[in-house]
Amino acid sequence: MNHQEKPPEENLTELMDFVLLGFADMSHLQWFLFGLFLIIYIIILLSNGTIFLITKMDPTLQSPVYFFLANFSFLEICYASTTLPRMLMNLGTQRRRISLVACATQMCFFLMFRVTECLLLAVMAYDRYVAICNPLQYPLVMNHRVCIQLVTGSWTTGIPFLIEYTYQIFSLPFCGSNQINHFFCDIFPILKLACGDTFVNEMLAYTVAVLFVMVPFLLVLGSYSKIISIILKFPSATS
């Protein structure tokens, strides 16, 4: 953790941009990495885009499980598009500079999509729990209105907190190096460049991880544990 004393005001440098160092020491593999990640990005776009379109266009795929799957596929496209295009540009041009505003925007969207992914996985696990453990009540419990509310909550729950948290990080004074030892703007590589005490910011990062990662993970674990328990009690033919 970064607890050094804040340097005198005259020693602070107002950084206007950062340099992303990700893969900088592998310049001899520049075009191999560019091609590899470009193929990965195209596969992500095509596979998730196809799933999204099929679940929207096929009348037989309008149940809650496919509604959640369509949202998850769209989320995966957004998630990948937050980091991969910038990384491809850095690899292709070797111009690794990113403005402070662009860096803050990338971090904010990355965190929002990460939180949304965790919450949406918990929602999908709950959907399967109701479908398998309470099949007679499933149409009533998971009606269209509830599905809309669950998805909307997954997409929006963390937005106010994460915007404020990102603002707090980029309001810190930065001094010395502007080189980020990563291929995108993530929390801890940015905090390493900040001057002064970053203890509060680091504790908030762990709080976010507990609330939006560990809690949904435990809900997913609990849901599937219950599902497995119920299935094991079925006769083999029914299972």
d(CA 206, CA 197) in angstroms, rounded, equals 16
Q: What is the pLDDT of residue 201?
A: 94
As a whole-number percent, the residues of the chain with pLDDT over 70 amount to 92
Domain ranges of the chain: 21-233
pLDDT of 211 above 60: yes
Question: Taking the chain, what is the end-to-end CA distance rounded to the nearest angstrom?
Answer: 51
Position 77 confidence tier, pLDDT thresholds 50, 70, 90:
very high
Q: Name the nearest CA neighbour of 150 among 215, 72, 44, 40.
A: 72
Q: At what angle do helices 144-156 and 64-93 cross, to 10 degrees?
A: 30
Q: What is the pLDDT of residue 238?
A: 55
Q: What is the residue whose two structure tokens read 């939006």? A: 212
Q: Name the nearest CA neighbour of 22 among 80, 79, 76, 83.
A: 83
Beta bridge partners of 109: none
Q: What is the residue whose two structure tokens read 């992914």? A: 117
Q: Strands 97-99 and 179-180, how do they pair?
A: unpaired
pLDDT digits (tens, 9 = 90+) for 53-69: 999 999 999 999 999 99
d(CA 105, CA 51) in angstroms, rounded, equals 28
d(CA 121, CA 126) in angstroms, rounded, equals 9
Q: What is the pLDDT of residue 93?
A: 87
Q: Name the nearest CA neighbour of 216 among 167, 153, 160.
A: 153
pLDDT digits (tens, 9 = 90+) for 193-210: 998 889 999 999 999 999
Are 193 and 180 in contact, with CB atoms under 8 Å apart? yes
Which backbone phi and psi does 18 adopt, to 5 degrees? -125, 165
Q: What is the pLDDT of residue 16?
A: 77
Q: What is the pLDDT of residue 157?
A: 92
Q: What is the pLDDT of residue 170?
A: 93
How many CB atoms are closer than 10 A to CB 116?
24
pLDDT digits (tens, 9 = 90+) for 86-123: 999 999 988 889 999 999 999 999 999 999 999 999 99
Q: Name the nearest CA neighbour of 201 among 225, 168, 179.
A: 168
Q: What is the pLDDT of residue 14?
A: 62
d(CA 104, CA 172) in angstroms, rounded, equals 12
Q: Name the nearest CA neighbour of 33 among 87, 78, 72, 71.
A: 87
Position 235 confidence tier, pLDDT thresholds 50, 70, 90:
confident
As a whole-number percent, the residues of the chain with pLDDT over 90 amount to 76
User: Among the CATH numbers 3.20.20.70, 1.20.1070.10, 1.10.4080.10, 3.30.497.10, which is that of 21-233?
Assistant: 1.20.1070.10
The model carries a pTM of: 0.88
List Cα–Cα distances, 169 to 16, 115, 163, 209, in angstroms.
15, 18, 10, 16
